[in-house]
Amino acid sequence: MVKKVNSQEFANEAMKAPVAVVDFNAVWCGPCRMLAPVLEDISEKLGGKVSFYSVDVDESPDLAMRYMVNSVPCLVMLKNGELAAQTVGFRPEPLLTSWIEGNL
């Protein structure tokens, strides 16, 4: 499952997870809408190893600013709250899965 979080929940959950993948997105962004179901599928497969979160950049501009999100969708991988990897744009499921696994 990909859990939608606000800034407060982000601090309490995503920052504390051993490994978190955070999907920065916006309601007006076409590629974001396409990425969401792909990420949902991946979260089912990798759910044991990785926690998945979703952040709306309009609702949490502070988080978008902190991770310098200039284009959406943007995926950020955090390990114990530390930035481990970042990628921009849609990717098909197999490529996204290998991006996540390659950065574990």
Partner 1 sequence: MRYDIAIIGTGPAGVSAALTAKNRNKSILLLGSGKMSEKVAKAHEIRNYPGLPFIKGSELAAAFRNQLDRMEIGITEERVGAVYAMGDYFALQVGEEMMEASAVILATGVVQAKPLPGEETFLGRGVSYCATCDAPLYRGRVAAVIGYSPREEAEAAFLSEVCSKVLYFPQYKEETALPDSVEVIRETPEEIRKTETGMAVKTANGEYPANGVFVLREAVAPGQLVPGLETDGAHVKVSRRMETNLPGVFACGDLTGTPYQYVKAAGEGNVAAISAAAYIDRQKK
Active-site amino acid positions: 29, 32
Q: Is 38 in the site for partner 1 (CB under 8 A)?
A: yes
Per CB under 8 A, contacts with partner 1 among 43-82 are 57-58, 64, 68-72, 74
Is residue 78 within 8 Å of residue 11, measured between CB atoms? no
Q: Is 83 in the site for partner 1 (CB under 8 A)?
A: no
What tokens appear for 60 in the block?
A: 């949490």
Is residue 53 within 8 Å of residue 101, measured between CB atoms? no
Round to whole Å and give the CA distance between 90 and 32.
Answer: 7
- Candidates 6-14, 22-30, 47-55, 77-85: pick the segment binding partner 1 (CB under 8 A): 22-30
Side chain identity, residue 18: P
Q: Which residues bind partner 1 (CB under 8 A)?
A: 26, 28-31, 34, 37-38, 41, 57-58, 64, 68-72, 74, 88-93, 95
